[in-house]
């Protein structure tokens, strides 16, 4: 999952791009992470690393739970739905 890639990136040194897509990139900073717009559509948004990791772990738990239940609102995952960076 891209979430796993982002979780691993949270331990990266400052200046590392953790993930990017949909005109936004998330970068590791000295105090946490920062979401930045590729096209200046919004101001940079900062979050502590601990909050970021907690959020991603909770989100991943929800995704895994939905997949385990075979959520009928989601089609089977095709290979192209994987994060190419992982």
pLDDT single digits (tens) 40-70: 999 999 999 999 999 999 999 988 887 777 7
In this predicted structure, the answer to whether residue 71 has a pLDDT above a threshold of 80 is no
Sheet with strand 45-47: strands edge to edge = 17-21, 24-28, 33-37, 45-47
Once rounded to an integer, what is the mean pLDDT over residues 4-15? 94
In this predicted structure, the answer to whether residue 14 has a pLDDT above a threshold of 90 is yes
In this predicted structure, the answer to whether residue 72 has a pLDDT above a threshold of 90 is no
Average pLDDT of the chain, as a whole number: 86
- Please give the backbone phi and psi of residue 40, each rounded to the nearest 5 degrees, phi first: 55, 40
Q: Which residue has the tokens 């739905």?
A: 81
In the three-class reduction of DSSP (H, G, I as helix; E, B as strand; rest coil), residue 51 is classed as helix
Once rounded to an integer, what is the mean pLDDT over residues 10-37? 94
């Amino acid at each position: 999952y891209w979430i796993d890639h982002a979780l691993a990136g949270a331990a990266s040194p400052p200046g590392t791009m953790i993930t990017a897509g949909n005109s936004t990139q998330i970068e590791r900073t000295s105090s946490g992470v920062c979401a930045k717009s590729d096209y200046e559509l919004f101001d940079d948004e900062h979050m502590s690393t601990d909050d970021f990791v907690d959020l991603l772990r909770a989100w991943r738990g929800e995704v895994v739970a939905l997949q385990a239940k075979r959520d009928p609102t989601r089609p089977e995952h095709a290979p192209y739905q994987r994060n190419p960076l992982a």
